[in-house]
Amino acid sequence: MKTDLKKILSISGQPGLFLYLSHANTGAVVESIVTKKRTCCGMSARITALSDISIFTETDEIRLQQVFEKMKAYLGENDAPSSKSDAKVLKELFENVLPDYDRDRFYVSHMKKVVDWYSCLKNYATLDFVQDEEQEEAAAE
């Protein structure tokens, strides 16, 4: 089954990624991708879908899905470096994957999140993503 980044959420203050399940009166019902534990996030929680995240490049912005696809092409079956790796290791990875990333606006702290999310998806979901055309077809049905 393909991963739909519109349903994969990052919740501020919560480690890991979450799958959106449904709307609740008090917020959203989500399930941890790693532990499969379900919880309800209140309306005050800062929730961001991974599909809404982009990374700054020298000329424009690139969607996170495209970054993940480039990482997959570069790393193959190998794991991404740990988010606890040295900053040089993370910068080297992104220089190879995304050579024109904006060095003034894409910080090491952002790189750590991206490699964590990549590893989480690789290990607990799939790096085969639903494409925009497939989402539009599913919405039309």
Dihedral angle computed from the Cα positions of residues 69, 124, 3 and 110, in that order, rounded to the nearest 10 degrees:
-50
- pLDDT of amino acid 96: 96
| Local confidence pLDDT in tens for the 141 residues of the chain | 899 999 999 999 999 999 999 998 889 999 999 999 999 999 899 999 999 999 999 999 999 999 999 999 999 999 999 999 999 999 999 999 999 999 999 999 999 999 999 999 999 999 999 987 655 555 455
Predicted pLDDT at 131:
85
Cβ–Cβ contacts within 10 Å for residue 52, how many?
A: 12
| Contact call for residues 108 and 101 (beta carbons, < 8 A) | no
Describe the crossing of helices 108-124 and 64-75 by its angle, rounded to 10 degrees.
Answer: 70
Query: Which residue carries 């009166």 as its tokens?
Result: 25
CA distance readout (Å), 31 to 39, 43, 73: 6, 16, 28
Contacts of 77 (CB under 8 A, 6+ apart): none
Domains of the chain listed by start with CATH number: 54-124 (1.10.10.1650)
What pTM did the predictor assign?
0.89
> Cα–Cα distances in Å, from 105 out to 52, 60, 69, 73, 74?
17, 12, 21, 24, 23
